[in-house]
């Protein structure tokens, strides 16, 4: 496969993931939410818990594809890697500042600015994975990803790392380094979902995606490509499920079992879409998601800012109370708010796609 040629199935899966992230983030804002769109409160797994780790897995694939044009040479690629990593982190901090500021009305008070977040995690994990990609042999990626998961599991095992309490080593490190005021909800949930220590398994998530990206590019035959993705996905899913008996599935802790399970689902999903879209050429059904997948980070950032403004101006409650609730009731009305907001963001993606504008952050 030519790395400069856009893989439609990858764009579609990325679009499905971004659409899922927007829907999950907004369906509950009106006070009612179906369980399928709500994250697991602690241990356990919900479909809503899949969207962000799947995006990170796909970012690993994109990292392999984007570095192919540098032939994985350190000198020409390193400046771009550092620049993009820092840009993602900076955008994340600006987003957190903006959301915090419009709520408080004080644009100069940084005392409760959340330092970590979705974009910051993406920037850190991308940077580490990309730097490893241009410095070590790629055959070491999967073993190294597993070693990182084992190291993190040992930290959890001997540091009350699975407990929902202030004694959890994951939360203790977050609190010590970030400070409670700079954590998610000012530390009221004990750990930051995108905290310091849990970044270790998150890097593994991106690295496993990178390995799958190598499969997609290096293997030319679609049947072999799908078979390899299927085998990797099935193995990761099976091992992750078995491991969950000793290491609970937990998104907030980004537990090793959670990484393996979600990577397995992501690899299997990509294999399925490769077959449907790129082999069977059934493309019309998925055209809606191309609008989200072509410029995923831009649409995600826009959705966070626009969603924050709608909440700040109480537009979401006005729309829900005066229109959606009378028409659809509590739960379905709240769901429809998320759907309409998703379509609103999709319009931006559609305009960019039609004009063949691809913005790479």
Shortest CA distance to 37 belongs to which of 332, 343, 345? 332
Q: 0.85 exceeded by the pTM?
A: yes
Whether the CB-CB separation of 240 and 264 falls below 8 Å is answered with yes
Whether the CB-CB separation of 12 and 273 falls below 8 Å is answered with yes
pLDDT digits (tens, 9 = 90+) for 226-244: 899 999 999 999 999 999 9
| pLDDT attached to residue 85 | 95
* DSSP character string of 308-351: HHHHHTTHHHHHIIIIIHHHH-HHHHHHHHHHHHHHHHHHHHHH
Ranges of each domain in the chain:
1-38+283-360, 45-282
**Which runs of consecutive H residues, i.e. helices, occur in 179-324?**
199-218, 222-243, 256-273, 287-293, 296-312, 315-319
Mean pLDDT score across all residues of the chain? 90
Q: How many CB atoms lie within 10 A of CB 343?
A: 13
Shortest CA distance to 51 belongs to which of 82, 14, 9? 14
**H-run or E-run covering 174:** helix 169-178
d(CA 14, CA 20): 10
Q: How many CB atoms lie within 10 A of CB 61?
A: 27
The 3-state DSSP class for residue 169 equals: helix
pLDDT digits (tens, 9 = 90+) for 67-101: 988 888 878 889 899 999 999 999 999 998 988 88
Q: How many CB atoms lie within 10 A of CB 280?
A: 9
- Is the confidence at residue 112, as pLDDT, over 60? yes
Position 63 confidence tier, pLDDT thresholds 50, 70, 90: very high
d(CA 303, CA 326): 26
Position 3 confidence tier, pLDDT thresholds 50, 70, 90: low
């Amino acid at each position: 496969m030519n790395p400069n040629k856009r893989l439609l199935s990858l764009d579609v899966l990325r679009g499905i993931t971004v659409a899922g992230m927007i829907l999950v983030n907004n369906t509950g804002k009106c006070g009612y939410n179906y369980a399928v769109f709500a994250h697991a409160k602690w241990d356990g797994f919900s479909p809503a818990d899949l969207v962000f780790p799947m995006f990170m897995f796909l970012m690993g694939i994109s990292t392999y594809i984007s570095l192919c044009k540098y032939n994985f040479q350190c000198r020409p690629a390193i400046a771009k890697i550092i620049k993009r990593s820092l840009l993602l982190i900076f955008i994340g901090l600006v987003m957190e500042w903006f959301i915090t500021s419009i709520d408080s009305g004080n644009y100069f008070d940084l005392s409760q600015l959340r330092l970590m977040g979705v974009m910051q995690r993406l920037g850190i994990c991308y940077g580490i994975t990309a730097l490893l990609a241009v410095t070590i042999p790629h055959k070491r990626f999967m073993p190294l990803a597993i070693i990182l998961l084992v190291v993190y599991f040992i930290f959890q095992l001997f540091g009350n790392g699975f407990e929902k309490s202030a004694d959890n080593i994951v939360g203790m490190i977050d609190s010590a380094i970030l400070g409670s005021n700079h954590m998610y909800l000012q530390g009221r949930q004990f750990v930051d979902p995108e905290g310091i220590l849990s970044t270790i398994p998150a890097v593994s998530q991106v690295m496993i995606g990178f390995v799958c990206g190598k499969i997609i590019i290096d293997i030319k035959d679609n049947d072999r490509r799908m078979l390899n993705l299927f085998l990797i996905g099935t193995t990761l899913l099976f091992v992750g499920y078995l491991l969950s008996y000793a290491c609970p599935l937990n998104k907030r802790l980004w537990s090793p079992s959670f990484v393996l399970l979600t990577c397995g689902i992501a690899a299997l999903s990509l294999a399925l879409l490769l077959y449907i879209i790129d082999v069977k050429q059934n493309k019309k059904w998925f055209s809606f998601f191309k609008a989200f997948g072509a410029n995923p980070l831009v649409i995600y950032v826009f959705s966070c800012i626009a969603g924050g403004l709608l909440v700040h101006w109480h537009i979401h409650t006005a729309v829900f109370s005066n229109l959606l609730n009378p028409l659809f009731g509590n739960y379905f009305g709240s769901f429809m708010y998320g759907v309409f907001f998703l379509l609103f963001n999709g319009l931006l993606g559609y305009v960019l796609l039609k004009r063949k504008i691809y913005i790479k952050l």
